[in-house]
């Protein structure tokens, strides 16, 4: 079970880093796009945190 949790953490961490890179590399994002990407980033952070807690327990 720990292996699957680690895989999920790695997947979501990769998604998070890709999203951060996308935001930082684009200078012409509209406000709506920034808000949308920030919401996606927040969701990924919650998922990663939940998985890390599950891994500890």
H/E segment holding residue 26 = none
Tell me the whole-structure pTM to 2 decimals: 0.87
In a domain, 48, yes or no: yes
On the CB side of 28, how many CA atoms lie within 13 Å of its CA?
Answer: 0
Check residue 14 and report its DSSP letter: H
Q: What average pLDDT does the segment 9-20 reach?
A: 97
**Both structure tokens of 42:** 């927040």
Residue 34 counted as domain residue: yes
pLDDT at 40: 97
At residue 2, the pLDDT reads 85
Q: Which domain holds residue 52?
A: 2-15+27-56
42 inside domain: yes
Q: Read off the pLDDT of residues 29-53 as tens digits, 9 standing for 90 and up.
A: 999 999 999 999 999 999 999 999 9
Q: Is residue 7 part of a domain?
A: yes
In a domain, 22, yes or no: no
Does residue 20 belong to any structural domain of this protein?
Answer: no
Q: How many domains does the chain have?
A: 1
DSSP E strands, the chain: none
pLDDT for 14 beyond 90: yes
Question: In the 8-state DSSP scheme, what is residue 12?
Answer: H
Q: Over 90: is that where the pLDDT of 25 sits? A: yes
6 part of a folded domain: yes
| pLDDT at 57 > cutoff 90 | no
């Amino acid at each position: 079970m720990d292996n699957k949790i680690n895989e999920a953490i790695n997947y979501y961490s990769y998604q998070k880093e890709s999203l951060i890179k996308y935001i930082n590399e684009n200078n012409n994002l509209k406000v709506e796009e920034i808000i949308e990407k920030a919401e996606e980033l927040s969701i990924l952070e919650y998922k990663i945190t939940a998985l890390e807690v599950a891994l500890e327990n």
